[in-house]
Amino acid sequence: MARAQLLFPKDFLWGTATAAYQVEGNNTNSDWWVWEQADGRILHNQKSGLASNWWANAEQDLDIAAEMGTNAHRLSLEWSRIEPEPSVFDDAALGRYREILQAMHQRGIEPMVTLHHFSNPLWLVEKGDFNSAVVVDYFRRYTAKVVDVLGDLIPKWVTINEPVVYVFMRYLTGDFPLGQHSGWSGVMGAIPNLLGCHAAAYHTIKEKLPQAQVGVAKNMAVLQARPGSLPLSRWWAGRVNWLFNYMWLDSMTNGRLYFPFGRRPIAHLAGSYDFIGLNYYTRFYVNFPPLGGLVSDRWEPGAVVSDGNYGEVYPAGLFQIIESLLPYKKPIYVTENGVPDKADRLRPSFLMTHLREVWRAISFNYPVMGYYHWSLVDNFEWDRAWTQRFGLIEINPETQERSWRASGRLYQEICRSRSLTSQQAEKYAPELMQTIFTGSDPANYRADFEAFLAAVPDVKPMEDDRLDSGG
């Protein structure tokens, strides 16, 4: 076959993403740390421990990120380190963040910094955190401190990571700390306050740093009724889709709450974002009636599903969702996209097929400005702990040893050439040769994956699987 190359724009950002609690280690003032200590909350009672050891040595992985050819990285700050007691700020912690951010700049890696990524200072939880309106002032004050001390090093900001996922996991499913499992009333209480926090942070940043780009990272999934469903379930799926995917964006755009969260305006919220950060992982079918939860974890026959029944691999959905964001008329960054795949069976194809959808969007002149793969390195995956490995680089959490997965080498070739090429496919994902370089319909990916998987021998657990089996 002729050589082919799908080229990306020169100024496209090639990134990876991490979050503080998941990589830093020893975040003892965080609500997650306390949560981890009791049995039965984290799969196999695993612990974050040193995580990926970034507090001591983020630099070693930033070296890897530079070697990979990336020019951007999304990381988060741990509020509980910066403000371990209310209004007591820790200069040493802020100093360490300065070092890490400087280390990124020195390596040609542009930081995108998230202020809140799922974890809270313990003192905030005692004060009722997102169910109490005082959180808005606390979040404003924390943001102001970060802007003062670190703002000169941060061109791009994410206020809150996946707000809707966060409130669902925290209040509805109870999988996140601190277990005040207050159900829908908790969700209802938290949404207006989280929107208030976002607006407060947005303006606090922009007042001092008018050039900064500020947005949110919004998890969006393809949510639909199963093919052949009755009109009522299709209507219901439409409601769930709006609630999960678009409610937050509509509120930020129009500056108000929507039913069922109320109808009132929220001060300074309208238009308070410069870009949309899109975290895209998967597609779900919506349950109707919603008895077993809002979404189903039963896949259609033949679906390619990643480790731990995490979700279906569905690259076409990335294009669909990007297209659905066009009415908001904002630049789009893919702020997370990845797959739990310890053995790296799916990730090379996953990477190429999803990036191919980004390339397709760009070729329609859709404003996709960058891509941050989740994740650079294996890390502590919340309640799934070390059982779900998202890294381009594998980490053995016991020895802290790093090794490149094939997908890491592939991403290196992609970043360095700013393109997807038929040679990469030949080398890393030959099953894609007949699809992404021949212009056939992306719906065929699934057939290609199936053929590929059928040909792959079953994976044998590797040596350092001990942690995965609860050891």
Binding footprint of ligand FCB on the chain (CB under 6 A): 19, 22, 161-162, 165, 219, 279, 336, 374, 381-382, 390
Q: DSSP label at 24?
A: S
Q: How far is the CB of 451 from ligand FCB (least distance, A)?
A: 27
Q: Which is nearer to ligand FCB, 48 or 219 (CB)?
A: 219
Burial (CB count within 10 angstroms: exposed 0-12, middle 13-18, buried 19+), residue 374: buried
Q: What is the dihedral of CA 301, 324, 168, 113, to 10 degrees?
A: 120
Q: Which is nearer to ligand FCB, 381 or 468 (CB)?
A: 381
For 197-217, what is the HEC assignment? HHHHHHHHHHHHCCCCEEEEE
Q: Which of 36, 74, 135 is nearest to 384 (CA)?
A: 36
Instruction: Please answer whether residues 97 and 77 qualify as being in contact, where contact means their C-beta atoms are separated by less than 8 angstroms.
Output: yes
**Residue 214 has which token pair?**
């500020």
Q: How far is the CB of 22 from ligand FCB (least distance, A)?
A: 6
Identity at 358, one-letter amino acid code = V
Q: How far is the CB of 217 from ligand FCB (least distance, A)?
A: 7
Q: Which is nearer to ligand FCB, 353 or 375 (CB)?
A: 375
Residue 376 and residue 390: Cα distance in Å, rounded?
Answer: 8
Q: Which is nearer to ligand FCB, 8 or 390 (CB)?
A: 390
Identity at 374, one-letter amino acid code = W
Q: How far is the CB of 328 from ligand FCB (least distance, A)?
A: 20
- Helix (H/G/I), strand (E/B), else coil: 247: helix
Q: Which of 200, 195, 315, 296 is nearest to 254 (CA)?
A: 195
Q: How far is the CB of 281 from ligand FCB (least distance, A)?
A: 7
Residues whose CB falls within 8 Å of the CB of residue 213, separated by 6 or more in sequence, listed in order: 155, 156, 157, 274, 275, 331
Q: Which residue is nearest to ligand FCB (CB)?
A: 19
Cα 89 to chain centroid, rounded? 27
Q: Which is nearer to ligand FCB, 218 or 446 (CB)?
A: 218
Q: Which is nearer to ligand FCB, 193 or 279 (CB)?
A: 279
Instruction: Please answer whether residues 433 and 452 qualify as being in contact, where contact means their C-beta atoms are separated by less than 8 angstroms.
Output: no
Q: How far is the CB of 55 from ligand FCB (least distance, A)?
A: 17
Residues whose CB falls within 8 Å of the CB of residue 38, separated by 6 or more in sequence, listed in order: none
Helix (H) or strand (E) holding 332: strand 332-336
**Residue 255 has which token pair?**
């500056």
Q: How far is the CB of 339 from ligand FCB (least distance, A)?
A: 9
Q: How many helices (H) and strands (E) does the chain have?
A: 16, 13
* Residue pointed to by tokens 């830093």: 24
Q: Which is nearer to ligand FCB, 80 or 421 (CB)?
A: 80
The CA-atom distances, in angstroms, between 342 and each of 200, 423, 427, 455, 462 are 39, 24, 20, 18, 9
Q: DSSP label at 341?
A: -
Instruction: Please answer whether residues 295 and 239 qualify as being in contact, where contact means their C-beta atoms are separated by less than 8 angstroms.
Output: no
Q: Which is nearer to ligand FCB, 24 or 381 (CB)?
A: 381
Q: How far is the CB of 381 from ligand FCB (least distance, A)?
A: 6
Residue count (the chain):
471
Identity at 36, one-letter amino acid code = E
Q: How far is the CB of 5 from ligand FCB (least distance, A)?
A: 30
Q: DSSP label at 312?
A: B
Q: Which is nearer to ligand FCB, 389 or 446 (CB)?
A: 389
**Residue 246 has which token pair?**
């678009």
Q: Which is nearer to ligand FCB, 19 or 257 (CB)?
A: 19
Q: Which is nearer to ligand FCB, 169 or 212 (CB)?
A: 169
Q: How far is the CB of 48 from ligand FCB (least distance, A)?
A: 12
Q: Which is nearer to ligand FCB, 12 or 382 (CB)?
A: 382
Q: How far is the CB of 196 from ligand FCB (least distance, A)?
A: 21
